[in-house]
Amino acid sequence: MPPRAKLFPVKHVIALDVGGTGMKAALVGADGTLLYEARRATGRERGAEAVVESILAFAADLRAYGEEHFGESAVAAGVAVPGIVDAENGIAVYAANLGWRDVPMRRLLGERLGGVPVALGHDVRTGGLAEGRIGAGKGADRFLFVPLGTGIAGAIGIAGTIEAGAHGYAGEIGHIVVRPDGPDCGCGQRGCLETLASASAVTRAWAAASGDPEADAADCAKAVESGDPAALEVWRNAVDALAAGLVTALTLLDPRTLIIGGGLAEAGETLFTPLRAAVEERVTFQKLPHIVPAALGDTAGCLGAGLLAWDLLSTEVSA
Ligand SMILES: [Zn+2]
């Protein structure tokens, strides 16, 4: 740490991104600078209560770190969590992979952090906020962020904020049906986009086609690059389904920028070149958005949590 940090207090917030197995955290300065970063396990194998306690303890340790190294306590905190989130009331409603139900996260964190204001956000929408404001969508007034990971989700960016919807479900593009006779989805429908074009879906399809149960989506991308016809077919199916889902979304939302992230986007132009072509082929009257890879990688959620915390302070001042 720079020695001046001890001499001059540095105003900062706590940012926490809670994933299925790991948590990423940071202390973030007013200009968005990451002053300190840390990672820790959620301890989900010990149950939902233990996960909540890990989050609270992690936040408290970050607060202590800030006091020691930056001369003052964090002035606010932002936390991104997976699953269903009631951001307005600060409640982590449900997360299948963490096992909790109706955790009053904002109140619990506020209590543990000496009463500072706390913002709670949905992980994808929080990551989307960061991608839209300081990442790949910087400067775009309308964007759609779509991470292709275990599943597929979306964040709808409008004028610097993310649209959550009336009930907190806006942006669930992964459950747009693109193949009505397609595979069963966990949501109860068939042929949802995420059953066909998520990193997990490509992994499943390539493991089956290649006969190697260990093969994953990244291996499929490599096989595509070397011209393997079986891989090309798996890839084409996924890209085609993805283009169908994205065209539905852009017909409805007319975004200026379409930011594609998650594990599958790491294939780079192996994904983006055929994807842009497939989208272009499908649109008629719709305007084509810029289709770009996400820029912030797996720090997007944490950076977004920091933005949520700073936003909270600016709205409190202006309120
Ligand atoms: Zn579904």
- Ligand 1: centre distance to CA 36 (Å): 38
Q: Is the same domain home to 156 and 276?
A: yes
Q: Is the same domain home to 307 and 255?
A: no
Q: Is the same domain home to 38 and 179?
A: no
Mean pLDDT taken over the chain = 94
- Ligand 1: centre distance to CA 141 (Å): 29
- Ligand 1: centre distance to CA 190 (Å): 7
- Ligand 1: centre distance to CA 171 (Å): 13
- Ligand 1: centre distance to CA 152 (Å): 10
Rounded to whole angstroms, the Cα distance separating 267 from 183 reads 24
- Ligand 1: centre distance to CA 229 (Å): 29
Beta pairing, strands 257-261 & 142-147: parallel
Find out whether 110 and 275 touch, Cβ atoms under 8 Å.
Answer: no
- Ligand 1: centre distance to CA 242 (Å): 14
Reading the block at residue 274, the tokens are 């055929």
Q: Give a yes or no: residue 133 inside a domain.
A: no
pLDDT in tens, 166-201: 888 899 999 999 999 999 999 999 999 999 999 999
Q: Is the same domain home to 195 and 248?
A: yes
Number of structural domains (the chain) is 2
Average pLDDT of the residues in 237-247: 98
CATH number of the domain encompassing residue 273: 3.30.420.40
Residue 319 has pLDDT above 50, yes or no: no
Q: Is the same domain home to 154 and 274?
A: yes
Q: Give a yes or no: residue 5 inside a domain.
A: no
Q: Is the same domain home to 213 and 100?
A: no
Q: What residues are paired with 258 via a beta bridge?
A: 144, 291
Q: Is the same domain home to 251 and 313?
A: no
Contact residues for 215 (Cβ-Cβ < 8 A; gap 6+): 203, 206, 207
Rounded to whole angstroms, the Cα distance separating 45 from 42 reads 8
- Ligand 1: centre distance to CA 179 (Å): 11
Q: Is the same domain home to 108 and 144?
A: no
- Ligand 1: centre distance to CA 170 (Å): 14
Q: Give a yes or no: residue 7 inside a domain.
A: no
Give pLDDT, residue 6.
Answer: 52
Q: Give a yes or no: residue 131 inside a domain.
A: no
Beta pairing, strands 77-81 & 34-41: unpaired
Q: Is the same domain home to 122 and 194?
A: no
pTM equals 0.91
Q: Which residue has the tokens 């952090």?
A: 113
Q: Is the same domain home to 207 and 270?
A: yes
Q: Give a yes or no: residue 132 inside a domain.
A: no
Q: Which segments within the chain are labelled E, that is strand? A: 12-18, 22-29, 34-41, 77-81, 84-86, 91-95, 100-103, 118-122, 142-147, 155-158, 161-163, 257-261, 290-293
Rounded to whole angstroms, the Cα distance separating 66 from 193 reads 43
Q: Is the same domain home to 144 and 214?
A: yes
pLDDT in tens, 140-150: 999 999 999 99
Range of the domain at 113: 12-126+299-318
- Ligand 1: centre distance to CA 232 (Å): 25
pLDDT in tens, 253-301: 999 999 999 999 999 999 999 999 999 999 999 999 999 999 999 999 9
pLDDT in tens, 65-115: 999 999 999 999 999 999 889 988 999 999 888 999 999 999 999 999 999
Rounded to whole angstroms, the Cα distance separating 42 from 80 reads 13
Q: Is the same domain home to 62 and 174?
A: no
